[in-house]
């Protein structure tokens, strides 16, 4: 039996080729396991993962000590592919993941179907959730929506579309409206969908929902802020301790709550209180107080702007060191222009990953500003610098590379 990672990262798999024909054929031959559970489908540019995690935590808390199982499928991973596929917050085992990945890959090839990496991962997740008799699945779109491999769900409980902004423009389009069309592709006929009025793609989303006769759900009023060192979510007139930092999480929480209500999932105030205190999403505004270290997966201009605003509001009196790296298809110039102020120190991390941006590819003005690092010992020295807030951002792939080797 081959190692699943070797299969997924092979030349034949490790590519993006949007389309539903291949995944539909395989799932049909597997008797459509994706039709056997209730799905909450989440698309958008930023905030998908956090929204998924909030919903997942509420469902897990609601159904704890019962036989009801909650599946979660997210991407990308930080350290292992198995992180992407969870049941009740427990990742699929390496053994089960290897077995199912091999079985589905062999089965696809026997039927002359060559799946991509993400298609194979999606099919593996659906098969695993079916075998484990999962009741609910919180499903995150991989890329776009319309032609994404997760868009084989015919009757989701509800679709969620988080903030839309410019990202993956080479595949999804280079305007907000073009990208919104792709994201809106998850909206099904006669379904229920939720998105905020503030969404940049609002007009396209509303038009698509109307064309599909989809009910547009309303989100509650939510505010997230730090008070006396504690992060709170205020929902209506009630205040809850909330484990996800950043005022932008108010939108994600509002979408999650509105979606669950629209889907007919009721839960007690105690369930909500416990879930919001527990919810955790690695490397999303993750702050380590003892190290004065902030790690965030912001990887596009919109995400970087949210990060910079958060720093200006909550860490305005700190001297800052930024460690930044990204993939070469990202708008790094805009990101760095937003991120860096004159007084900030800037280190560019050249990490080992396909399509990672190289220091020599930076425009001259950024090369002149940056100090190049590519050694983990240099990273450790930066983390241990005192009197500075250390901020790591630009790529989840970079963060996974660094912090799989460095214990914090």
> The domain that contains 109 carries what CATH number?
3.40.1190.10
Buried b (16+ CB within 10 A) or exposed e, 192-205: bbbbbeebbbbebb
Is 203 domain-assigned?
yes
Residue 142 pLDDT > 80: yes
Where residue 170 falls among pLDDT bands split at 50, 70, 90? confident
What pLDDT, on a 0 to 100 scale, did the predictor assign at position 148?
95
Whole-number pLDDT of residue 19:
86
The domain spanning residue 371 has which CATH number? Answer: 3.90.190.20
Identify whether residues 45 and 104 lie together within a single domain.
yes
Looking at 240, 269, 298, the residue that finishes a domain is 269
Task: Give the strands of the sheet with 345-349, arranged side by side.
Answer: 286-288, 293-295, 389-393, 320-324, 345-349, 371-373
Is the pLDDT at 225 greater than 90? The verdict is yes
The answer, yes or no, to whether residue 11 has pLDDT greater than 70, is no
**Shared domain check, 255 and 135:** yes
Kindly state whether residue 96 falls inside one of the protein's structural domains: yes
Cα 186–chain centre separation: 16
Q: Is 276 part of a structural domain of the chain?
A: no
Q: State yes or no: pLDDT of 233 exceeds 90.
A: yes
List pLDDT tens digits, range 282-311. 999 999 999 999 999 999 999 999 999 999
Mean of the pLDDT values across residues 40-53? 96
The pLDDT confidence band at residue 173, using thresholds 50, 70 and 90, is: confident
Structural domain count of the chain: 2
Same domain, 106 and 154: yes
With respect to residue 237, please indicate whether it lies within any of the assigned structural domains.
Answer: no
Average pLDDT over residues 222-234: 94
Residues 336 and 384 in one domain: yes
Give the mean pLDDT of 132-139: 98
Q: Is residue 94 part of a domain?
A: yes
Question: In the structure encoding, which two tokens stand for residue 73, read together?
Answer: 């499928």
The pLDDT tens digits of the residues spanning 312-344 come to: 999 999 999 999 999 999 999 999 999 999 999
**Does residue 322 share a domain with residue 257?**
no
Question: Are residues 205 and 125 located together in one domain of the fold?
Answer: yes
Nearest of 380, 383, 375, 369 to residue 351 by alpha carbon: 375
> Percent of the chain, pLDDT > 70?
100
Identify the domain boundary among 269, 299, 333: 269
The answer to whether residues 322 and 210 belong to one domain is no
Task: Answer yes or no: is pLDDT of 166 > 90.
Answer: no
Spatial strand order in the sheet of 238-241: 222-227, 230-235, 238-241
Report the chain's mean pLDDT, rounded to a whole number.
95
Q: Which of 123-127, 158-162, 403-407 has the lowest mean pLDDT?
A: 403-407
Region 177-193 average pLDDT: 97
Considering the domain architecture, whether residues 290 and 216 belong to the same structural domain is answered as: no
Instruction: Reply yes or no on whether the pLDDT at 16 is more than 90.
Output: no
| Separation of alpha carbons 285 and 275, rounded Å | 18
Look at residue 79 and tell me if it is in a domain.
yes
- Checking DSSP bridges between strand 85-87 and strand 70-73, what pairing results, if any? antiparallel
| Kind and range of the H or E run holding 287 | strand 286-288
Residue 155's domain spans which residues?
4-220+248-269
| Whether 193 and 310 share a structural domain | no
360 is a domain residue: yes
Asked whether residue 264 falls in the same domain as residue 291, the answer is no
Q: What is the mean pLDDT of residues 143-158?
A: 96
- One domain for residues 296 and 199: no
For residues 219 and 163, give the distance between their C-alpha atoms in angstroms, rounded to a whole number: 14
Residue 274 inside a domain? The answer is no
Closest-CA residue to 8 (of 126, 146, 100, 139): 100
Query: Do 171 and 107 share a structural domain?
Result: yes
């Amino acid at each position: 039996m081959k190692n699943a990672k070797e299969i997924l990262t092979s030349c034949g798999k490790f590519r993006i080729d949007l389309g539903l024909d291949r995944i539909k054929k395989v799932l049909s031959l597997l008797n459509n396991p994706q039709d056997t559970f209730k799905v909450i489908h989440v698309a958008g540019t930023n905030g998908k993962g956090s929204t998924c995690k909030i919903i997942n935590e509420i469902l897990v808390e609601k159904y704890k000590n019962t036989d009801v199982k909650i599946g979660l499928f997210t991407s990308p991973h930080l350290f292992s592919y198995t992180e992407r596929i969870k049941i009740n917050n427990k990742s699929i085992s390496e053994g089960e993941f290897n077995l199912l990945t091999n079985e589905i890959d062999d089965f696809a090839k026997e039927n002359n179907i060559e799946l991509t990496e993400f298609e194979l991962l999606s099919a593996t997740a659906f098969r695993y959730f079916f075998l484990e008799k999962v009741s609910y699945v919180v499903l995150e779109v991989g890329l776009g929506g319309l032609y994404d491999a997760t868009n084989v769900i015919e009757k989701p409980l509800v679709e969620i579309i988080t903030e839309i902004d410019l990202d993956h423009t080479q595949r999804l389009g280079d305007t907000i409206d073009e990208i919104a069309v792709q994201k809106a592709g998850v909206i099904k006929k006669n379904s229920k969908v939720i998105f905020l009025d503030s969404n940049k793609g609002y007009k396209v989303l509303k038009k698509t929902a109307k064309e599909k006769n989809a009910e547009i759900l309303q989100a509650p009023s939510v505010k997230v802020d730090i008070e006396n060192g504690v992060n709170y979510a205020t929902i209506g007139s009630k205040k809850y301790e909330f484990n996800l930092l950043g005022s932008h999480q108010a939108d994600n929480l509002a979408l999650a709550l509105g979606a669950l209500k629209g889907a007919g999932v009721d839960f007690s105030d105690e369930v909500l209180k416990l879930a919001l205190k527990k919810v955790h999403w690695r490397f999303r505004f993750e702050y380590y107080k003892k190290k004065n270290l902030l790690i965030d997966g912001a990887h596009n201009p919109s995400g970087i702007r949210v990060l910079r605003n958060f720093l200006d509001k909550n860490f305005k009196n700190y001297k800052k060191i930024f460690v930044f790296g990204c993939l070469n298809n990202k708008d790094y110039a805009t990101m760095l222009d937003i991120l860096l102020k004159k007084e900030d120190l800037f280190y560019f991390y050249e990490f080992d990953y396909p399509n990672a941006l190289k220091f020599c590819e930076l425009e001259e003005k950024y090369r002149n500003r940056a100090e190049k690092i590519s050694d983990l010992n240099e990273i450790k020295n930066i983390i241990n610098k005192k009197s500075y807030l250390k901020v790591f951002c630009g790529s989840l792939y970079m963060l996974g590379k660094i912090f799989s080797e460095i214990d914090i």
